[in-house]
């Protein structure tokens, strides 16, 4: 079975753990819950603080491909843990909160992932439910990332609107009528695993 190692990164409170917990549940690998984040925030300190500190390793079997998730911490003081995850990943999910847009930490994580040799990125705009699934909010964040990507030497990326809470576009590609791209599950099943043999020396 094909194996894809996926780094998930972004700022604290952008909703990474909730998104991944719900993704697993929709694909039959986790129980439905009101608190999907607990599926990934496994350390006692993480549960108590409501954050991810260490790199959380989980795997999910999809159609013809096993996905190994490296869920990186969003807090700036744990950025070293995120770097170690990037070194072992094939592709990256950049999680962005639709209510706040791209943060400096998100940009930093994107640059680090690219420096580590990752070529394929998904810009996952989550919490779309909090903005009433507004297409213009999604398009504004996509435009912002489009301006940023060349500065980080990121050429291959796909933007996906989702909701970790409601599950919109996590598995069903038709859950957002105005979006014609793939669901997150479909992207994971088809993402290119090509990686550079040598990391970039600069961005």
Summarize pLDDT for 12-38 with one digit per residue, the tens: 777 887 888 889 889 987 655 555 656
Residue 138 counted as domain residue: yes
Residue 55 counted as domain residue: yes
Residue 19 counted as domain residue: yes
Q: What total of structural domains would you count in the chain?
A: 1
Domain ranges, residue 123: 2-190
Residue 203 counted as domain residue: no
On the 0-12 / 13-18 / 19+ scale of CB atoms within 10 A, 77 is exposed
pLDDT at 84: 58
Residue 11 counted as domain residue: yes
pLDDT at 196: 53
Q: Which has more pLDDT, 80 or 104?
A: 104
Residue 86 counted as domain residue: yes
> Is the pLDDT confidence value at 42 over 60?
no
Q: Output the CA torsion 126→30→122→61 (10° steps).
A: -160
Residue 202 counted as domain residue: no
Strand, coil or helix: 54: coil
How far, CA to CA in Å, does 43 sit from each of 48, 50, 105?
9, 10, 23
pLDDT at 132: 97
Q: Which has more pLDDT, 72 or 79?
A: 72
Start-to-end C-alpha separation, the chain: 34
Contact between 170 and 133 under an 8 Å Cβ cutoff? The reply is no
Domain CATH code at residue 89: 3.40.50.300
**Rounded distance, CA 199 to CA 129, Å?**
37
Residue 198 counted as domain residue: no
Mean pLDDT check: name the lowest of 6-10, 128-132, 141-145: 6-10
Strand, coil or helix: 2: strand
pLDDT at 80: 55
> Is the pLDDT confidence value at 45 over 60?
no
């Amino acid at each position: 079975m094909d194996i894809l190692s996926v780094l998930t990164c972004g700022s604290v409170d952008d909703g990474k753990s909730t998104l991944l917990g719900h993704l697993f549940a929709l694909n039959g690998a986790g129980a439905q819950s009101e608190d999907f984040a607990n599926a990934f925030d496994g350390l006692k300190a993480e549960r108590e603080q409501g954050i991810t500190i260490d790199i959380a390793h989980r795997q999910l079997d999809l159609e013809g491909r096993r996905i190994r998730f490296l869920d990186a911490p969003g807090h700036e003081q744990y950025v070293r843990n995120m770097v170690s995850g990037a070194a072992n990943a094939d592709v990256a999910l950049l999680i962005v909160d639709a209510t706040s847009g791209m943060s400096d930490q998100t940009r930093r994580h994107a640059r680090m992932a690219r420096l580590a040799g990752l070529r394929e990125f998904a810009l996952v705009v989550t919490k779309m439910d909090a903005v009433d699934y507004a297409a213009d909010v999604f398009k504004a964040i996509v435009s912002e990332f489009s301006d940023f990507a060349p500065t980080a030497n990121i050429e291959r990326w796909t933007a996906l609107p989702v909701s970790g809470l409601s599950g919109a576009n996590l598995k069903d590609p038709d859950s957002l009528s105005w979006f014609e791209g793939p669901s997150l599950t479909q992207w994971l099943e088809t993402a290119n695993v090509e990686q550079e043999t040598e990391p970039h020396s600069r961005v």
